[in-house]
């Protein structure tokens, strides 16, 4: 059976479990990272020398890096749906996955750490504001892109909706004021209504 190591509070682990749920895979998730530890044992470091979650093991094949895992699972089990077969459509999905990993999630990281994982008396208001501004810039790009599109890559749900959906879940649930983003909010509500999206989109930020 497919094994997934990682705590569910990790946005990167969330991508993998959502992908598994979309495909309908049978998998075992083993808590690791954060207060669960386990990710600095020699056995774990042999799977991922970075000591980070998630990691998967699929019939002896070990893989880390959340977006690489989502691409692998989608290509193996869902080519033509989550992972388009046609080169241009696939590149579009791939591009938006890169945008999530290198732009959107990093933009909101400080706001998340300060507002969710830092005690109120130790928070850095300037860091929150700088991160909020960067997150707004990215959210405006996403909102504009979604105008006239049902999904990130056009008219079909794809791996890009999963990874950006995890980032948007974090952004839209941060305890702070945000600009209204009607297209982003419409798309996120649709994600929440997908049975496979519920596990992640019903999580509280911790």
Binding site for ligand GSH (CB under 6 A): 10-12, 33-34, 39, 52-54, 65-67
Q: Shortest distance, CB of residue 119 to ligand GSH, whole angstroms?
A: 19
Give the pair of three-digit tokens for residue 49.
Answer: 């020398």
CA distance 32 to 10: 10
Helix/strand/coil for 69: helix
Q: Which is nearer to ligand GSH, 12 or 114 (CB)?
A: 12
CA distance 108 to 78: 30
Provide the edge-to-edge strand list for the sheet that holds 27-30.
Answer: 27-30, 2-5, 55-58, 61-64
Tokens 């941060």, residue located? 174
Beta carbons within 8 Å of 117's beta carbon, 6+ residues apart: 206
The residue sitting closest to ligand GSH, measured at its beta carbon, is 33
Q: Shortest distance, CB of residue 186 to ligand GSH, whole angstroms?
A: 27
Q: Count the Cβ atoms, other than its own, within 10 Å of residue 136.
A: 17
Q: Which is nearer to ligand GSH, 31 or 129 (CB)?
A: 31
Q: Shortest distance, CB of residue 45 to ligand GSH, whole angstroms?
A: 12
CA distance 83 to 76: 9
Q: Which is nearer to ligand GSH, 52 or 156 (CB)?
A: 52
Q: Specify whether the CB–CB gap between 158 and 152 falls below 8 A.
A: yes
Q: Which is nearer to ligand GSH, 12 or 158 (CB)?
A: 12
Q: Shortest distance, CB of residue 105 to ligand GSH, whole angstroms?
A: 9
Q: Shortest distance, CB of residue 106 to ligand GSH, whole angstroms?
A: 10
* CA pseudo-torsion sign 172, 177, 181, 182: positive
Q: Shortest distance, CB of residue 197 to ligand GSH, whole angstroms?
A: 19
Q: Which is nearer to ligand GSH, 113 or 136 (CB)?
A: 113
Tokens 């093991």, residue located? 57
Q: Which is nearer to ligand GSH, 22 or 143 (CB)?
A: 22
């Amino acid at each position: 059976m497919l094994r997934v190591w990682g705590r569910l509070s990790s946005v990167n682990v969330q991508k993998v479990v959502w992908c598994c749920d979309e495909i309908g895979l049978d998998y075992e998730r083993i808590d690791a990272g954060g207060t669960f530890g386990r990710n600095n044992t020699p056995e774990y470091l042999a799977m991922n020398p970075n000591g980070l979650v998630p990691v998967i093991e699929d019939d002896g094949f070990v893989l880390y890096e959340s977006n690489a895992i989502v691409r692998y699972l989608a290509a193996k089990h869902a080519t033509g749906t989550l992972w388009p077969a046609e080169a241009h459509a696939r590149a579009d999905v791939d591009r938006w996955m890169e945008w999530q990993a290198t732009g959107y999630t990093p933009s909101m990281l400080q706001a998340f750490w300060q507002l969710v994982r830092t005690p109120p008396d130790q928070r850095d208001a300037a860091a929150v504001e700088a991160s909020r501004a960067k997150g707004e810039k990215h959210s405006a790009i996403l909102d504009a892109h979604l105008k006239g599109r049902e999904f990130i890559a056009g008219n079909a749900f794809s791996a890009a909706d999963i990874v950006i959906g995890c980032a948007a879940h974090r952004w839209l649930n941060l305890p702070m004021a945000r600009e209204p983003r009607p297209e982003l909010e419409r798309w996120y509500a649709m994600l929440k209504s997908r049975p496979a999206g519920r596990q992640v989109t019903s999580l509280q930020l911790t």
